[in-house]
Amino acid sequence: MAGKNLHNEPSLFEVIQQFCSDRGLTRDAVLNVIKESLAVAYKKKGVSLLDGIDIGVDFNDKNEVILKIPRRIVDKKDTESFEMYIEDAKSINGNVNLGDIIYQEEKPIELSRIVSNQVRQMVFQRIKEMERENLYNEYKAKEGDLIHGFFQRWKTKSKDVMVIDLGKVEAIMPKSEQNPGERYRQGERLKAIIAKVELRKDRYKEPGPTITLSRASADFVRRLFEMEIPEIYDGLVQIIGIARQPSIRSKVIVKAARGDIDPVGACVGMKGVRIQSIVRELGNERIDIIQYSENPVEFLRNLISPAKPTEVRIDQDTKEALIVVPDDSLSSAIGSNGSNVKLAAQLCQYKIDIRSESQFREDLSSPEVRDKLERLFNKSYEETEMEGTSLTEIPGLTPRIISLLTAGGVVDIESLIEMNPQELAKISGIGRTTAEHIMKLLAESVELVEES
């Protein structure tokens, strides 16, 4: 009866093979684990092995383990465990000589007598470590990627750390990486980015690496834009920077790789369909899409959106900026708890001072404050006096065309007047037809100025 049970019992290799098949481990990795374990098993049994020569492991047609134990051929009958008498060796291979190494095969049934339960545990422990390392390598390569998971449970009683089921492994989302105000039910599906993957040696008993997810980072917003907006995924629209205050507001700076693309329009989509799907995913967080500009004054005007500044003064040396907005736009310029101006300052690296028009007039009425402003923004005043008429003064000239002209070095109407259609057409993104259209608008604009 015992023999029948032994016969029906799956072999060690069959068990390990199934274990590894379920977890995606390789055959070679299994073989190495078996070799290491058998070497330990033989030593525990008191069998000495030849130094530097490994036990051979192979499999027959029935996928049974075949052990090949190395023996040195000697000319004595009283042999050690790692030796074989030459006559016995010649019965295996007639061409062997003294001092040669011959591999003696063990029957598969003998494996169960060699490998103790302790060694079996060592085999499975090592395979589990390999599985852990494989999971670490797999998810480490995905750091920063968007991933889907299911909320499983809270890890702590204080409900600060969420445990997310990713299928192969569990991940955590600490409170600092959660979007404030969001609530999840057990089993609910969610999106997040893989923020960090660690293989912590102090937690070797855990089944997998420590994977930290995030829904509060700026990179999460970036990945959502790449997923929802084909032009960004394809590189036609580039995200220059993102600043975020989770659940309140995000500012996304975009730039077109080609002159015929409106980067802001591409992100918003027809009737706002693209941006609305991102807003919903972020729990109705406000998103400002800002067009990038090399001109710092224009860039600051864009950044302070939705407010429309009436005046922008900058000091590029001290990285300070003064922005004046209409009285009724002051609150929107500053934003809830200062969110709008804080995010704008973070993106442009300027210290921004927001003033309403009435506040600015009051400041200028004081000689001391006026002198301070003049000293602080002295260079800006000089530059303002030297600046020509803005291209926005030309009726019919679209923001896209103005952006192309500015990128091509044409920053004001006076510079545009100096150019002929051929020179204009050479600017990237303009072309002959657009150049003729610009010159026509310019001619009409100059006539209107002269008539007035």
Q: Kindly tell me the burial class for residue 297, based on how many C-beta atoms sit within 10 Å of its own C-beta (0-12, 13-18, 19 or more).
A: buried
Q: Which pLDDT value is given to residue 398?
A: 80
CATH class given for the domain over 145-216? mainly beta
Quote the pLDDT of residue 150.
94
Q: With 70 as the cut, is the pLDDT of residue 58 above it?
A: no
CA 255 to centroid of chain Cα atoms: 20
**Other CB atoms within 10 A of residue 312 CB:** 21
In degrees rounded to 5, what are phi and psi of residue 360?
-65, -40
Write down the CATH number for the domain with range 391-451.
Answer: 1.10.150.20
CA distance 438 to 420: 11
Mind giving me the DSSP string for 278-292?
HHHHTTS-EEEEEE-
Q: What mean pLDDT is predicted for residues 175-188? A: 88
In the chain, what are the domain boundaries? 10-123, 145-216, 293-378, 391-451
pLDDT of residue 1: 42
Fold of 10-123: N Utilization Substance Protein A; Chain:P; domain 4 (3.30.1480)
Predicted pLDDT at 419: 83
Which two tokens mark 169?
Answer: 């492994």
With bands split at pLDDT 50, 70 and 90, how would you rate the model's confidence at 14? low
105 band by pLDDT with thresholds 50, 70 and 90? confident
Region 305-324: mean pLDDT is 86
Question: What does the pLDDT read at residue 450?
Answer: 41
DSSP 315: E
187-to-160, 276, 380 alpha-carbon distances in Å: 18, 25, 58
Helix (H) / strand (E) element for 59: namely: strand 56-59
pLDDT for position 3: 46
DSSP-derived letter for residue 294 is: S
Alpha-carbon distance values, 193 to 48, 143, 277 (Å): 53, 8, 17
Mean pLDDT, rounded, for 279-298? 91
Alpha carbon distance 23, 6 (integer Å): 27
Question: Cα angle at 376 between 295 and 383, to 5 degrees?
Answer: 40
pLDDT surpassing 50 at residue 6: no
* pLDDT value at residue 201: 66
Q: Which tokens belong to 152?
A: 């499983």
pTM surpassing 0.75? no
Report pLDDT digits (tens) over 385-398: 445 677 777 887 88
Tell me which of 147-151, 359-363, 405-409 is least confident. 405-409
Measured over the CA atoms of residue 432, residue 434, residue 437 and residue 438, the dihedral's sign is negative
Between the two ends of the chain, the Cα-to-Cα distance in Å is 114
Distance (Å, whole) CA 416 – CA 411: 8
Which of the following CATH numbers is that of domain 293-378: 3.30.300.20, 1.10.15.40, 3.40.47.10, 3.40.50.300? 3.30.300.20
